[in-house]
Chains A and B, each alone.
Chain A
Amino acid sequence: MTDVILSVQHLSKSFPGVKVLNDINIDFRKGTVHAIVGENGAGKSTFMNIVFGVYTDFNGKMILDGKETKFASPMEAQHSGIAMVHQENSLIPYLSVMDNIFLGHYPKKGFFIDKSTLRKKTDVLLGELNIKEITPDSIVDRLSVAQRQLVEIVKALSLDARLLMLDEPTASLTITESQHLMRVISQLREKGVAIVYVSHKLDEVFEIADEISVLRDGEMIRHLDKAEFDHDQVVYYMIGRKLQEYDSSEKGSGDFTARKEIIRVEHLSRRNELHDISFSAKEGEILGFGGLVGAGRSELMEAIFGFDRYSSGEIFIGSKKVEITNPVHAIENGIALVPEERKQKGIFARLSIMENINVVSYKNLKNGRLISSRKERDSAEKYVEDLRIRTTSIMKMLGQLSGGNQQKVILARWLRLSPKILILDEPTHGIDIGAKEEIYKIIRQLASEGTTILLVSSEMDELIRLSDRVVVMREGYLKGILERDELSQTNIMKLAI
């Protein structure tokens, strides 16, 4: 086993009161893509942070090139050839690509930065990975998310990394962009770099990985070689139980002809973004919205909700035409929106769970002019119980909860108003499988109670499983509406690409 670059042995780590990693053994080999999968909270991030030298306090050994090593800081790890691309972007927006890549280890001429060498070196690095659309002088702020991701990888490699860790690298990429990234990763593998690949997207993992390690609750559950890859098995190892079989009886009768129309959108447009969109949805219907990331689905939802204005077109709620120019109007018309980017648009991380749940409904929680502490508490406690939000106290800051529980809190916020129309934009993005199932259950329950749901999702399974019909969009155009018996991954993709 001479090709093992890093061997992690008997690794354990505790935070006060919790054991997050227990006796983990993993080998990372040269020229191999090693995927680590597991639910949120399984310990993947902690594991990577230990390998990268962020956490220095742990039990166990790390053996790099046959020698026991301990990194005191990420800088030491980097100098030993270990690189990490974080989920969150760590680039400096107003600097150029080459500055970002070589920040901290600029080529110099005396006191000054040697610009021409800098440019040349960056060109070489970009060229090695066949990245043609980025130039050394491009300003990072003007690059797309996918391009930034590539710059991050190049930056990591600029220190001659032999072990590259990628944390959810495709989380915000479109399919084409992800494919490009996959090609780059394959090239790195051929060059002999060991790659650690952490992702929720199993399809992607099966495509790119040579071996998979499954973590659950801080334990190493199973190590699989390429020949042993099997979707259902991996899911089983991840969640520790069989996933519920998809059951078509989960949906209602699917016959909405007799139902009341709740929302109708006609010829909605916004310059360059949305073009002549028309659709309608009935009481208790789940209308899915499929398409690639960037197809204009979120923009459409935000236009309906009044977050961004639409330039032409009409929206009817019930049979009444409404003018929605800001979220206040939307809420008055019984529309609620659970937005796409939970962190940026949804949560108040520093406010309590209670305040996060009640933020849109203080009007109903007052005694006279003042907010009643009792009503406020009761309201929050009711929803924490109803939606099974896992927390020790409703006064806990929302930022401290897991993604799934945060999403439930935001759902609670809107359910509190009993909306007629609930818009859900990627409601299970970045949420672990267990919490996903619970959110699906809530969505179905709401629909069966008569709430009309507009569901935007990039996960095909989710869309097909939950929706009564699916609207497919591409580049701001509505490409077609699929009826229930036409719903399939192929049909959706045909319209989406």
Chain B
Amino acid sequence: MDGAKKKKSAFSRIFGFREAGVLLALIILCLAIGTINPVFFSFRNIIKVLRQFSAIGIISVGSAFIIITGGIDLSVGSFMAFGAVGTAKMIADGVPPILALLVILGIAGCCGMISGLIVVKIKLNPFIVTLAMMNIISGVTYLITNGIPVAFNNYLNFLGKDFMTIPVSIFIMIIVMIIGAILLSKTEFGRKIYAVGGNGMAAKLSGINVDKTKCTAYIMTSVLAALTGIITCANLSSGDVSTGSGYELNVIAACAIGGCSLSGGEGTILGVFIGAAILGVIKNGFVLLMIPASWQTITIGIVIILACTLDQLKHKKSEA
């Protein structure tokens, strides 16, 4: 009896955590693809997959913070383009690369703060605010170079290269994920994020500065998006206005698959990582299996619905 109990608790400790469902889906997906085409499991291919979803992975960390507070950010794609083009242009104009990088991240942070302030002070819907911000930032990015790509050749290119045969962007993603996970689960700030999204009024009455907490999440996300844009730019050796187009929705998809509730209050960085990984594996797998790209997006759509349904069922069960 006692033994059975213990066994069960060990079992639930391993598989009972929130992300177990999507993790299982990821494993099955990998095994299926790998069985059909063993190339999938080669070191080179795994690295390729990781690099492919590293951009989404990095931004998703910020987006997860926003979504857990009950918000949403549609402007991350345009911040990527801004990061890429802005940095490339400043460097081309003679600004030292590291300074250009810091200035652009700073500007992105300020713009994120503006989004955040509009959300908390004027109380506009974050969907609308970030939709507007997306348009503004895209326009500004276009203005910088009139849409012409700018060459990017300086020591910052290492961000897009390999380090010990592994792309630097993967290291960056892992570092950002670890910091994000610690912030969210181990610090007061993280707990505030959950509280604000779970019940804003109760959070305010618990002495939490709701406005500041929300704003911080928007600032973080904009900075991470701009940073990702710079990494992409370093990889392509060119700052292009089309960088990051469509990323805003992929990032939201990664968060949703990973278990972030769009009504706020729920989500983990581990979940978001798995969500981003599933997107990456589907993209890579479909290429390996030579399935037309249109099926990729159809599959991603189905996966989003399945993942969220799974979450919903779990809630029903735990609330009964």
Are B205 and A337 in contact, with the CB atoms below 8 A? yes
**B-side interface residues, number (CB < 8 Å):** 23
Residue of A with least CB distance to B186: A370
Are A344 and B188 in contact, with the CB atoms below 8 A? no
Q: Select which of B188, B202, B209 is within 8 A of A346 by beta carbon.
A: B202
Report A's interface with B, CB cutoff 8 A. Answer: 15-16, 305, 307, 326-328, 330-331, 337, 339, 344-351, 355, 358-360, 362-363, 366, 369-371, 397, 399-400, 413
B199: interface (CB < 8 Å): yes
B window 261-317: CB within 8 A of A: 265-266
Chain B residues whose CB sits within 8 angstroms of the CB of A400 once the complex forms: 318-319
Residue of A with least CB distance to B318: A397
B260 to chain A, nearest CB (A): 12
Chain B residues whose CB sits within 8 angstroms of the CB of A362 once the complex forms: 188, 191
B216 to chain A, nearest CB (A): 16
Assuming the A-B contacts A337-B205, A397-B318, A413-B206, are A363 and B188 also in contact, with contact meaning beta carbons closer than 8 angstroms in the complex?
Answer: yes
B138 to chain A, nearest CB (A): 34
Chain B residues whose CB sits within 8 angstroms of the CB of A366 once the complex forms: 188
Are A371 and B191 in contact, with the CB atoms below 8 A? yes
Are B201 and A350 in contact, with the CB atoms below 8 A? no
B195: interface (CB < 8 Å): yes
- Give complex CA distance A366, B318 in Å: 30
Q: Which 8 A-B pairs have the closest CB atoms?
A: A348-B198, A362-B188, A331-B207, A370-B186, A327-B207, A328-B207, A350-B265, A360-B206
**B-side binding surface: helix, strand, loop or mixed?**
helix
Are B205 and A359 in contact, with the CB atoms below 8 A? no
B window 83-126: CB within 8 A of A: none
Assuming the A-B contacts A331-B207, A370-B182, A400-B318, are A351 and B194 also in contact, with contact meaning beta carbons closer than 8 angstroms in the complex?
Answer: yes
Are A330 and B207 in contact, with the CB atoms below 8 A? yes
Q: Select which of B202, B207, B265, B320 is within 8 A of A345 by beta carbon.
A: B202
Chain A residues whose CB sits within 8 angstroms of the CB of B206 once the complex forms: 327, 359-360, 413
28 intermolecular pairs with C-beta atoms under 8 Å apart: A16-B320, A305-B205, A307-B205, A326-B204, A326-B209, A328-B209, A330-B207, A331-B207, A344-B199, A344-B201, A345-B199, A345-B205, A346-B205, A348-B198, A348-B202, A350-B266, A355-B194, A355-B195, A358-B191, A359-B206, A359-B208, A360-B206, A362-B188, A369-B187, A370-B182, A370-B186, A397-B318, A400-B318
Report B's interface with A, CB cutoff 8 A. Answer: 182, 186-188, 191, 194-195, 198-199, 201-209, 265-266, 318-320
Are B187 and A370 in contact, with the CB atoms below 8 A? yes
A411 to chain B, nearest CB (A): 13
Are A371 and B202 in contact, with the CB atoms below 8 A? no
Chain B residues whose CB sits within 8 angstroms of the CB of A346 once the complex forms: 202, 205
- Give complex CA distance A348, B193 in Å: 12
Are A350 and B198 in contact, with the CB atoms below 8 A? yes
Residue of B with least CB distance to A16: B320
Assuming the A-B contacts A400-B318, A400-B319, are A360 and B207 also in contact, with contact meaning beta carbons closer than 8 angstroms in the complex?
Answer: yes
Chain B residues whose CB sits within 8 angstroms of the CB of A358 once the complex forms: 191
Chain B residues whose CB sits within 8 angstroms of the CB of A328 once the complex forms: 207, 209
Chain B residues whose CB sits within 8 angstroms of the CB of A397 once the complex forms: 318-319
Chain A residues whose CB sits within 8 angstroms of the CB of B199 once the complex forms: 344-345, 347-349
Chain A residues whose CB sits within 8 angstroms of the CB of B201 once the complex forms: 344-345
- Give complex CA distance A331, B202 in Å: 14
Sample of 14 further A-B pairs with CB below 8 A, known A348-B199, A350-B266: A16-B320, A307-B204, A326-B209, A328-B207, A328-B209, A337-B205, A344-B202, A345-B201, A347-B202, A348-B198, A348-B202, A348-B265, A355-B194, A362-B191
- Give complex CA distance A400, B318 in Å: 8
B106 to chain A, nearest CB (A): 24
Are A371 and B319 in contact, with the CB atoms below 8 A? no
Chain B residues whose CB sits within 8 angstroms of the CB of A355 once the complex forms: 191, 194-195
- Give complex CA distance A358, B206 in Å: 10
